[in-house]
Amino acid sequence: MSAAESTSTAEVAPERETLTWELFGTASRELAQMVADDGYRADIVLAIARGGLFVAGALGYALDVKNLHVANVEFYTGVDERLPVPIMLPPVPNKLDLSGAKVLVADDVADTGATLKLVRDFCEGEVADVRCAVVYEKPHSTVRCEYVWRRTDRWINFPWSTRPPVVRRAGQVLDA
């Protein structure tokens, strides 16, 4: 391969941020400490599935919140490929379960912000207070999260989505 070919290949391949399981442990603990230091005492941690499940579980343990809920949202269809708008999939959280609560929405990344906005808007007017905690926030996100471990403009390799699945399913979305 010539130097010119090597350069053009490097320009095409996007730089990636890599989060290992060990670093995720550090990140989630530091994220929880930010929430605690801010004095926010959530009644509920609301995970945005799938990546937010890991974050919500870690935050739930670190912040001693046992009341965890899940919002299943579909948006990504591949690496940097998305549906036109995010869609909340069933089962949709019961707003009565959230009523009057202080809710901490947890996700792995605020990329465009569209998913977080959907979930935050779903909670608005139903809960006492809603705040967002993410491991990563991209500079172009339309939602500014209250708690962010790291900011990056790179695509992120998460430890839970970098290896191929054990089972292959038709229409399966990889790396998203």
Spatial distance between the Cα atoms of 148 and 100, rounded to a whole number of angstroms: 25
Residue 3 has pLDDT above 80, yes or no: no
Q: Which residue has the higher pLDDT, 142 or 165?
A: 142
Percent helix, strand and coil across the chain, each rounded to 5?
30, 30, 40
Q: What mean pLDDT comes out for the span 69-83?
A: 77
Q: 147-151 and 68-78: which strand pairing? A: unpaired
Are 161 and 175 a contacting pair, CB within 8 Å?
yes
Model confidence band, residue 87 (pLDDT cutoffs 50, 70, 90):
confident
pLDDT tens track for 28-49: 999 999 999 999 999 999 999 9
Model-level pTM? 0.85
Percent of the chain clearing pLDDT 90 (strictly above): 66
Answer yes or no: is pLDDT of 162 > 90.
Answer: no
- Encode pLDDT of 105-136 as tens digits: 999 999 999 999 999 999 999 999 999 999 99
Residues contacting residue 135 through CB under 8 Å, at least 6 positions apart: 19, 24, 27, 28, 31, 55, 108, 109, 148, 149, 150
Give residue 84's pLDDT.
78
